[in-house]
Structure 1
C-alpha cells in the first residue's frame, strides 16, 4: 500500500454509496491520500452513521439521489469528469431483499446499468471498480471456495440482483468498452465485512455492539452458519489495488476478483461472537429458534487465488485481529472519550504499515 498515495493524490474520484459503512471507510482512506471526492448516495442509511461520525460531509461534496431512476446521475458524472469510480451503492441486506425485492433489483441491477450508461458518455480515461458481492455466486454450499468463473445467481432476491448486475456489467464492457478504449473497469466481490461504524439492521456485529452498549442480550438466528469474515480494510485495500492495476494498464479490463480471508478462516457466527466477547465482556447472546421461510446460505467460502496471482493482493489480518479491531472501535465509540475520527485514521495507518 506504500505507493498507493501517489496514484490517488489529487485525482477526482467518484464514490457511489459513500454514506454507507464501506463507503465511509473508503472515503476516509482516500481523503487520507489527498484525493478529490464526489460522493453520490440516496441518503444517510443509518443512525448513528459512520459518515456523520467521521464528519466526512465537511470534507467532500455529496449529491443525494436515487441512482436507479434519477436523471441527474448522468449529468453529475459528466460534470465531475472523474478519474476513478468506485461503485458501492447498493441495497445490501438479504432480509430486506425479501421484504422489498423490486427495490432491491432496481437499486442493485438498474442502478449499475444507469451508472454504466453515464460512464460511457465520458471521453477521458476512467478506471472504474464495480463492487458486487460474494453472494453473487449461486451457492451450493460447497466446502471449497468459489472461483470467479463459477455460476452466478442465488436463492434470494439480493443474490439474484447482484448476479444480474454482473451480467449487465459484462454486457456493457463487451458492447461499449473495448480493450483499446478510454474506459477500464473490473468487478470486486467481497465476503462478509466487519469493522467499526456499521449500524445496519439485522447484521450480527452491529446487533452485538448495540446490545453490549446498553447491557442487553443479542438474539442470534443461525449460530452455526459460516462466513468469510474479514475486516472492512481488507476488501477496500483490494478495491484500491484493483483500481491501481487498471490505471497501470494491466490486462484485467472486464475481469472479476474475489477479496476474502484465507481459505482456512471461514468461521461460524457463534465463534465470531465468542471471539469478540473476549475483548468486550458486555457482549452476551442467546440463540433464537425461528423459521421464517427465508433462505440464507449457511456455508459460503471464496477462493482468492486470482487476486494473489494477478494483483499480488492477499489478506493481512488474522480473524482474531479483525474481530479485535472491530470491538476496539465500538468500545472507543461507546465507552471512551477518544476522538473516533482519529482512532479510525489510526486503524487505517496501522493497516497500511502491515
Structure 2
C-alpha cells in the first residue's frame, strides 16, 4: 500500500492547485487518510470540474488565491501551519503555453519561487514545515527523442514554453534547496525539499480542453468523430493515482528521514505504459464499446515531442514505489468513471472506491 493512514492522520498538509484535476484527487485521498488539508488555488479551471463533482470544498479548508501573489500565498501557508507542502498549481497545457507564454512562466516559475519563499518565511516564524514537494513534469527534460527513459540526472531543457517553464521550476527548486534548505544543513533548517516529475496523467474527472483523453471522452459522449493530430507520438501514460501515490510516499520519506530523500524523482509507468496516441484512443474506444470513427488530421506548426519516456529506477529502488495499474487497467477505470458520471452517481464515492481499489485507503 502506497499510503499509510497512521502516518497521515492529523498531519497538516498545504496543497497548491487543489481545485485542479490532480489536486482534487490528491485532496480526496489525503482527506480519506485523515489529513487536515488546506488548499490554495484559483477557482476550478473547468466547468464541470472534479473539485465540484467530489465536493472537495467541503472536505478541505479552501483558499482561493493566485500563486503569483506572494503576500496572500505566504499568509495562507503560515495560517495553515503545515507539516508538509505539496506544490501542484500550474499552467498545465503545452499548447496553451504557445498562446500565453508569459503567463505560463509567471505561474510555473514565479509561482514556484513564491511557494519556496513562503516556506522560508514559515520556517523563520517557527512553523514546523518538514517536507516540501514541487510537482513538475516529465517534459522538463531536454528531449532528444531517445527510445529509453530519462533519468533524474539527465539534462533539463524543454522546447516549448510549458516544458521549458517546468525545467526552470526544477532549477529554481534546486537553487533554493542548495541555498536555503541544503541537505548538509538539515539540522539547522529542518526542511527537506524535493521535486516530482510525472508522466502523462489520465483518469476520471479530467475535463480540460485540448487534452487527449478528455477530448476522446467528449467525442464518445457526443457520438462525434475523434480527431487526432499526432497519432504516432509516444507518451508515458499512467492513471492519476500512480504519481499521486508516489508523492504521498515521497512526502512521508522526506518527513521521516529528511535530507536523505531531497532531490528530483521520476514517477512514470513501466515500458508497457509508453503507448502511442492512436493506441490510447483505440483502447478507450474499445473499453467504451464504441466504433466511433477516428480521423487523422495533418500536424500543425506547433512543436510537440514525438517520443518521451521516464526511467523510474530511482523511485523503485529507494522509495519502494512501483506502478500498479497497466495502461489497459487505467483506461478501464476511466471508462467506468465516465459511465458513473453519466448515470448521476455519487462521484466522491466513485473516486473513493477507485482509490481503495488502488490500495490507497
CA contact (8 A) 2:142 2:158 kept: yes
Q: Does structure 1 residue 350 correspond to structure 2 residue 354?
A: no
User: Which protein is richer in helix relative to its size?
Assistant: 2
Q: 1:245 to 1:156 in 2, by over 3 A?
A: same
Q: Following superposition, which runs of at least 4 residues in structure 1 exceed 2 angstroms of deviation? A: 250-254, 281-292
Alpha-carbon separation, structure 2, partners of 1:129 and 1:352 = 22
In structure 1, what is the equivalent of residue 14 of structure 2? Answer: 14
TM-score computed with the length of structure 1 as normaliser: 0.96
Q: Does structure 1 residue 184 correspond to structure 2 residue 192?
A: yes
Q: Does structure 1 residue 266 correspond to structure 2 residue 277?
A: no
CA contact (8 A) 2:70 2:118 kept: no
Q: Does structure 1 residue 72 correspond to structure 2 residue 55?
A: no
In structure 2, what is the equivalent of residue 144 of structure 1? Answer: 148
CA contact (8 A) 2:231 2:296 kept: no
In structure 2, what is the equivalent of residue 91 of structure 1? Answer: 91
Note the C-alpha offset of 1:353: 6.6
Q: Does structure 1 residue 221 correspond to structure 2 residue 243?
A: no
CA contact (8 A) 2:152 2:266 kept: yes
Alpha-carbon separation, structure 2, partners of 1:189 and 1:142 = 17
CA contact (8 A) 1:234 1:315 kept: yes
User: What residue ranges of structure 2 are gaps of 5+ in the alignment?
Assistant: none
**Greater Cα offset, 1-10 or 175-184:** 1-10
Say which of 200, 206, 219 aligns to 1:211: 219
In structure 2, what is the equivalent of residue 102 of structure 1? Answer: 102
Alpha-carbon separation, structure 2, partners of 1:3 and 1:323 = 23
Q: 1:250 to 1:65 in 2, by over 3 A?
A: closer
TM-score computed with the length of structure 2 as normaliser: 0.94
- Within-5 A mapping of 1:250-289: 251-282=259-290, 284-289=292-297
Alpha-carbon separation, structure 1, partners of 2:103 and 2:353 = 37
CA RMSD of aligned residues (A): 1.5
Note the C-alpha offset of 1:254: 3.0
Q: 1:283 to 1:304 in 2, by over 3 A?
A: farther
Q: 1:43-91 CA distances to partner (integer Å, 9 max, x unpaired)?
A: 1100110000001111211111111134211111112210111110000
Q: 1:133-185 CA distances to partner (integer Å, 9 max, x unpaired)?
A: 00000101100000000111111000110000111111011111132221111
